[in-house]
């Protein structure tokens, strides 16, 4: 069913159920603090501050549901559910928790410093009729493909490459259809592309970077401290 019209609800789905293996802290990444505040709280605060989101579903590890409820803003608009083993499982759990959405914004807790204005721009594109919208930035490194032995097999034209961020926005029926296919993907738009749907890019924002490694966490801390001292 296509229930996306310009006043149907925008529901943000926040995957926060990952283990944070690459970050290597002693707790799941979304619960690690940046500038004193857990990433998942920063991400939810950013979504609320955008003014573009009606409800938020946060997917967390099963043992951290109560902690998440305690650290998130006490609001009827924010709900915590149990995520899954893979990111796609977590997003699927979020979709199931908000079956009445007209639009979904899927937004990683790990992109904790995403500017609210970027979130609002993605939502505005959806309300204007786009069915799949992702923030994108030009790629600064040259990217190569390699085979199993690490031998270079190709160098895609960098001008045609983009690094994709979140929030990724979708008409709800399109994302639901994409998740009915049972494939794994590193982003939600990847599943939508496989349905043959057109995915539009809008300019991303460097501050929407994903906190993945200890170096990323240092960068995020530095940015928070700098923002505090102005
Ligand atoms: N995520 C999730 N459920 C999973 C795996 C990931 O909700 N089973 C979420 C993470 O919490 C994060 C986002 O998806 O907010 C992006 O994933 P990633 O950066 O890979 O985070 P982690 O999986 O936690 O990190 P790592 O891969 O290093 O373990
Ligand atoms: Mg991961």
Give the whole-number percent of the chain exceeding pLDDT 90: 91
Residue 183: predicted pLDDT = 79
The alpha carbon of 168 and the centre of ligand 2 are apart by a number of angstroms equal to: 17
Instruction: Centre a 10 Å sphere on the Cβ of residue 140 and count the other Cβ atoms it contains.
Output: 8
For residue 83, give every residue at least 6 positions away whose Cβ sits within 8 Å of its Cβ, in sequence order, or none. Answer: 15, 16, 17, 59, 60, 61, 62, 89, 90, 93, 94
Query: If we measure between CA atoms, which residue out of 148, 120, 134 comes closest to residue 191?
Result: 134
If DSSP codes are grouped into helix, strand and coil, which group holds residue 34?
strand
Mean pLDDT, the chain, rounded, equals 95
Domains and CATH numbers, the chain: 10-228 (3.90.550.10)
d(CA 84, CA 98): 16
Q: Is the peptide bond before 167 cis (omega within 30 degrees of 0)?
A: yes
Residues with CB under 6 A from ligand 1: 15-23, 29-30, 59, 83-87, 89-90, 108-110, 210, 212
Task: Please identify, by atom number, the ligand 1 atom nearest to the C-alpha of residue 23.
Answer: 28
- Which atom number of ligand 1 is nearest to the Cα of residue 22? 28
Q: Which atom of ligand 1 sits closest to the CA of residue 108?
A: 15
Mean pLDDT over 118-146 rounds to 97
Identify the nearest ligand to the CA of 89 by its number: 1
Interval 145-204: pLDDT, tens: 999 999 999 999 999 999 999 999 999 999 999 999 877 788 899 999 999 999 999 999
């Amino acid at each position: 069913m296509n229930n996306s019209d310009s006043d149907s609800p925008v529901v943000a789905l926040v995957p926060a159920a990952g283990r944070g293996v690459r970050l290597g802290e002693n707790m799941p990444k979304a619960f690690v603090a940046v500038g004193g505040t857990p990433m998942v709280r920063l991400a939810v605060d950013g979504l609320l501050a955008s003014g573009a989101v009606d409800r938020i579903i946060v997917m967390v590890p099963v043992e951290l549901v109560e902690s998440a409820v305690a650290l998130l803003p006490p609001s009827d608009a924010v709900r915590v559910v149990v995520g899954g083993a893979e990111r796609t499982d977590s997003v699927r759990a979020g979709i199931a928790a908000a079956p009445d959405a007209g639009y979904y914004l899927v937004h990683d807790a790990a992109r904790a410093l995403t500017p609210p204005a970027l979130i609002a721009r993605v939502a505005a594109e959806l309300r204007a009729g786009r069915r799949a919208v992702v923030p994108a930035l030009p790629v600064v490194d040259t990217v190569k493909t390699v085979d199993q032995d690490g031998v270079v097999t190709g160098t895609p034209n960098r001008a045609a490459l983009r690094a994709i961020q979140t929030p990724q926005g979708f008409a709800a029926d399109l994302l639901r259809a994409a998740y009915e296919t049972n494939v794994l993907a590193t982003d939600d738009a990847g599943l939508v592309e496989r349905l043959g749907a057109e995915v539009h890019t809008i300019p991303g924002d460097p501050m929407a970077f994903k906190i993945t490694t200890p170096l990323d966490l240092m960068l995020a801390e530095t940015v928070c401290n700098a923002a505090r001292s102005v």
